[in-house]
Amino acid sequence: MFGGLDLLATTTHAMTPPATETPGATDTSHGRRHWMSVLARAPRDTLEAAVASVEPPPNWTRLRGPEAGTVMVRGRIGGTGAAFNLGEVTVVRCSVRLVCGTVGHAYVAGRDLRRAELAAVCDALLQTAHAAELSTRLIAREAKRQAEERAEARRRAAATRVEFFTLTRMG
Protein backbone atom coordinates (compact mmCIF):
# COMPACT_ATOMS: atom_id res chain seq x y z
CA MET A 1 0.00 0.00 0.00
CA PHE A 2 2.89 2.33 0.64
CA GLY A 3 5.02 0.98 -2.20
CA GLY A 4 7.07 3.50 -4.01
CA LEU A 5 7.58 5.75 -1.03
CA ASP A 6 11.16 5.23 -0.08
CA LEU A 7 11.30 7.18 3.13
CA LEU A 8 9.96 4.19 5.01
CA ALA A 9 11.69 1.95 7.46
CA THR A 10 14.94 3.63 8.36
CA THR A 11 15.27 6.68 10.45
CA THR A 12 18.31 7.90 8.62
CA HIS A 13 16.38 8.28 5.40
CA ALA A 14 13.27 9.62 6.98
CA MET A 15 12.34 13.09 5.84
CA THR A 16 15.37 13.59 3.68
CA PRO A 17 14.56 16.88 2.03
CA PRO A 18 13.92 16.55 -1.70
CA ALA A 19 17.15 17.27 -3.50
CA THR A 20 16.46 19.52 -6.42
CA GLU A 21 18.38 22.21 -8.17
CA THR A 22 15.33 24.23 -9.06
CA PRO A 23 15.77 27.90 -8.23
CA GLY A 24 14.15 28.57 -4.90
CA ALA A 25 13.69 24.90 -4.13
CA THR A 26 16.93 24.73 -2.20
CA ASP A 27 16.06 27.91 -0.36
CA THR A 28 15.96 26.98 3.30
CA SER A 29 15.48 30.53 4.48
CA HIS A 30 13.27 31.25 7.41
CA GLY A 31 10.53 32.44 5.06
CA ARG A 32 10.04 29.21 3.20
CA ARG A 33 10.52 27.03 6.23
CA HIS A 34 7.87 29.06 8.03
CA TRP A 35 5.27 28.93 5.27
CA MET A 36 5.86 25.22 4.63
CA SER A 37 5.24 24.45 8.27
CA VAL A 38 2.08 26.57 8.25
CA LEU A 39 0.88 24.89 5.04
CA ALA A 40 1.54 21.44 6.51
CA ARG A 41 -0.87 22.20 9.35
CA ALA A 42 -3.47 24.11 7.36
CA PRO A 43 -6.87 22.44 6.89
CA ARG A 44 -7.84 21.35 3.41
CA ASP A 45 -10.71 23.85 3.05
CA THR A 46 -8.39 26.76 3.77
CA LEU A 47 -5.89 25.56 1.14
CA GLU A 48 -8.68 24.86 -1.35
CA ALA A 49 -10.04 28.40 -0.93
CA ALA A 50 -6.58 29.95 -1.18
CA VAL A 51 -5.73 28.15 -4.43
CA ALA A 52 -9.17 28.91 -5.88
CA SER A 53 -8.76 32.62 -5.18
CA VAL A 54 -5.54 32.95 -7.18
CA GLU A 55 -5.97 34.78 -10.49
CA PRO A 56 -5.41 33.45 -13.11
CA PRO A 57 -6.22 29.93 -11.82
CA PRO A 58 -2.93 28.07 -11.43
CA ASN A 59 -2.14 25.02 -13.54
CA TRP A 60 0.28 22.44 -12.29
CA THR A 61 1.84 19.09 -13.14
CA ARG A 62 2.41 16.39 -10.55
CA LEU A 63 6.10 15.54 -10.34
CA ARG A 64 5.73 12.99 -7.55
CA GLY A 65 2.73 11.77 -5.64
CA PRO A 66 0.61 12.66 -3.82
CA GLU A 67 1.51 9.39 -2.11
CA ALA A 68 1.12 8.13 1.44
CA GLY A 69 3.82 6.52 3.55
CA THR A 70 5.19 6.65 7.04
CA VAL A 71 8.04 8.47 8.68
CA MET A 72 9.67 7.76 12.01
CA VAL A 73 9.19 10.62 14.42
CA ARG A 74 11.63 11.22 17.25
CA GLY A 75 10.83 12.90 20.50
CA ARG A 76 12.30 13.59 23.91
CA ILE A 77 10.88 10.42 25.41
CA GLY A 78 13.94 8.86 27.00
CA GLY A 79 14.24 8.74 30.79
CA THR A 80 16.85 11.49 30.65
CA GLY A 81 14.98 13.55 28.11
CA ALA A 82 17.08 12.34 25.23
CA ALA A 83 15.55 11.96 21.78
CA PHE A 84 14.36 8.50 20.85
CA ASN A 85 12.06 6.97 18.26
CA LEU A 86 8.56 7.89 19.26
CA GLY A 87 6.62 6.10 16.55
CA GLU A 88 5.69 6.13 12.92
CA VAL A 89 3.40 8.77 11.53
CA THR A 90 1.39 8.50 8.34
CA VAL A 91 2.49 11.19 5.94
CA VAL A 92 1.48 12.25 2.45
CA ARG A 93 4.07 13.87 0.26
CA CYS A 94 3.61 15.66 -3.01
CA SER A 95 5.73 17.67 -5.42
CA VAL A 96 4.23 19.77 -8.18
CA ARG A 97 5.48 22.06 -10.92
CA LEU A 98 3.65 25.18 -12.03
CA VAL A 99 3.48 26.13 -15.70
CA CYS A 100 6.29 28.63 -15.12
CA GLY A 101 8.56 25.82 -13.89
CA THR A 102 8.46 26.66 -10.19
CA VAL A 103 8.49 23.53 -8.05
CA GLY A 104 6.61 23.18 -4.78
CA HIS A 105 6.89 20.42 -2.18
CA ALA A 106 4.71 19.36 0.73
CA TYR A 107 4.91 16.75 3.47
CA VAL A 108 1.65 16.65 5.39
CA ALA A 109 0.71 14.37 8.28
CA GLY A 110 -2.36 12.23 7.64
CA ARG A 111 -3.74 10.52 4.58
CA ASP A 112 -5.44 13.41 2.80
CA LEU A 113 -3.83 13.29 -0.65
CA ARG A 114 -5.61 16.39 -1.92
CA ARG A 115 -4.48 18.42 1.06
CA ALA A 116 -0.82 17.60 0.39
CA GLU A 117 -1.19 18.45 -3.28
CA LEU A 118 -2.77 21.84 -2.46
CA ALA A 119 -0.05 22.55 0.09
CA ALA A 120 2.58 21.83 -2.56
CA VAL A 121 0.79 24.15 -5.01
CA CYS A 122 0.72 26.88 -2.37
CA ASP A 123 4.44 26.35 -1.70
CA ALA A 124 5.14 26.83 -5.40
CA LEU A 125 2.85 29.87 -5.67
CA LEU A 126 4.60 31.47 -2.70
CA GLN A 127 7.81 31.47 -4.75
CA THR A 128 6.16 33.40 -7.57
CA ALA A 129 4.60 36.85 -7.98
CA HIS A 130 1.64 35.66 -5.91
CA ALA A 131 3.86 35.56 -2.81
CA ALA A 132 2.81 38.88 -1.30
CA GLU A 133 -0.90 38.29 -1.69
CA LEU A 134 -0.75 34.69 -0.43
CA SER A 135 1.47 35.41 2.55
CA THR A 136 -0.95 37.97 3.94
CA ARG A 137 -4.18 36.26 2.98
CA LEU A 138 -3.19 32.67 3.67
CA ILE A 139 0.01 32.29 5.66
CA ALA A 140 -0.33 35.15 8.16
CA ARG A 141 -3.97 34.41 8.84
CA GLU A 142 -3.46 30.66 9.11
CA ALA A 143 -0.36 31.06 11.30
CA LYS A 144 -2.40 33.19 13.67
CA ARG A 145 -5.20 30.61 13.79
CA GLN A 146 -2.73 27.79 14.44
CA ALA A 147 -1.06 29.79 17.23
CA GLU A 148 -4.44 30.39 18.85
CA GLU A 149 -5.33 26.73 18.54
CA ARG A 150 -2.06 25.74 20.18
CA ALA A 151 -2.52 28.30 22.95
CA GLU A 152 -6.02 26.97 23.57
CA ALA A 153 -4.77 23.38 23.77
CA ARG A 154 -2.02 24.46 26.16
CA ARG A 155 -4.49 26.38 28.28
CA ARG A 156 -6.77 23.36 28.60
CA ALA A 157 -3.86 21.08 29.40
CA ALA A 158 -2.51 23.54 31.96
CA ALA A 159 -5.87 23.54 33.73
CA THR A 160 -5.40 19.87 34.58
CA ARG A 161 -1.93 20.31 36.00
CA VAL A 162 -1.25 18.66 39.31
CA GLU A 163 1.31 20.23 41.65
CA PHE A 164 3.42 17.70 43.48
CA PHE A 165 5.03 20.47 45.49
CA THR A 166 3.42 19.70 48.88
CA LEU A 167 3.81 15.98 48.48
CA THR A 168 7.52 16.34 47.85
CA ARG A 169 8.05 18.45 50.96
CA MET A 170 6.23 15.96 53.12
CA GLY A 171 8.56 13.20 51.91
Partner 1 sequence: MLEAGFADPVHEAQATFRALLEATARPGTILALPKPQAPLPLPPAAGAIALTLCDSDTPVWLAPPLASEAVRSWLRFHAGSPLVDNPGKAAFAFAVGMDVPFGDLAAGTDEAPERSATLVLGVDGFGRGAALHLSGPGVAKETTLQVAGLAPGFIAWRARNHALYPRGVDVILVAGREAAALPRTTSIREG
Contact residues: partner 1, CB under 8 A: 3-4, 6, 13, 16, 18-22, 61-64, 67, 95, 97, 101, 103
* Closer of 26 and 37 to partner 1 (Cβ): 26
* Closer of 100 and 147 to partner 1 (Cβ): 100
CA dihedral of 132, 16, 107, 152, whole degrees rounded to 10: -80
As a whole number of angstroms, the distance between CA 93 and CA 67 comes to 6
Question: What DSSP state is assigned to residue 18?
Answer: P
* Closer of 10 and 80 to partner 1 (Cβ): 10
Sorted by sequence, the CB contacts under 8 Å of residue 12 that are 6+ apart come out as none
* Closer of 5 and 143 to partner 1 (Cβ): 5
As a whole number of angstroms, the distance between CA 120 and CA 50 comes to 12
Distance of CA 11 to the CA centre of its chain: 18
Cβ at position 21, least distance to partner 1 in Å? 4
Cβ at position 45, least distance to partner 1 in Å? 28
Cβ at position 13, least distance to partner 1 in Å? 7
